[in-house]
Amino acid sequence: MLPLFVRSIKFLVGLAFVGVLMWSLLWTVLAEAPTPTAEHEFHKHPKEVHFASDGPFGKFDQAQLQRGYKVYEEVCAACHSLSMVSFRELGMLGYNEAQVKNLAKKFDEKAKQPTYNPVTGDRAERSNLPSDRFPHIPYAGAGTPPDLSLMTKARHDGGAYVYSLLTGYTDQPAELLKKFPSAKTPDGLHYNPYFANLNLSMPPPLASDGQVTYDDGTPATVDQMAKDVSAFLIWSAEPHSQSRKQTGWAVLGFLLIASILAFGAYRSVWAGVKH
């Protein structure tokens, strides 16, 4: 009788131990469950947009890149630097040497190259040269706007993210304000559902059609300007990606031909050998 009683006690103790573990696990899961937030419910994934450079066979559209550079120069460069790109690399966009020199010189209006005299300790500035990288853009406001050189590499979905952000400014939806009254966009910020926390200090940079005048006559709608500058920033983040793709396909072609020749040689050498 006693052994049965002992076994019953052991079973109950084990059952209680398992129950405590299960309760602890459930409590942990419930405690770690994310609390619903406005950012979680109203943040949107980037829009679907196609760029000529997409995919393994994609190629940059030089006309679009030139339009995108014009948008950067006339709109984005008021605040954002492009410090990882040199002026001479603009030749890859289809500009000739004289045009590159003119573009570098024209950029003097926004920022020049800083110089330092190690003898006197004097600091000064000089004009931009094709061999220079884009200079740092001075900014008088609070904080420092991010450099755009690698923006499409630093953000998930790259060019689609930039395009969505530029075209995503809107009023806060009534549903958001009803469900999260404390999430009202603060004064001085701007609601954009494609930004991580929904509000950013940058006002809509592309506020209306015709902000720039394209040299090729393309209508400069907000949507077109956003696509063009996004394509340009895809290029600035990886300007040699097109040549790398071409080299990659050439290497794959060589390896395929070499494999076929090697297999043919193998069959020829071992053709008369009986297994």
Residue, of 88 and 119, whose pLDDT is higher: 88
Query: Hey, what amino acid is at 189?
Result: L
- β pairing state of 190-191 and 199-200: antiparallel
Measured CA to CA in angstroms, residue 118 lies from 31, 56, 159 at distances of 60, 49, 42
**What share of the chain has pLDDT > 90, as a percent?**
63
What is the distance between the alpha carbons of residues 148 and 136, in angstroms, rounded to a whole number?
A: 11
Nearest to 216 by CA among 206, 228, 208: 228
C-beta of residue 68 within 8 angstroms of C-beta of residue 53: no
Q: How many CB atoms lie within 10 A of CB 85?
A: 21
What is the tens place of the pLDDT at every residue in 181-213?
Answer: 988 999 999 999 999 999 999 999 999 999 999
Q: What is the mean pLDDT of residues 33-59?
A: 88
pTM of the complete model: 0.81
**Domains detected in the chain:** 47-140+150-243 (1.10.760.10)
Lowest mean pLDDT among 3-12, 50-59, 148-157, 246-255: 3-12
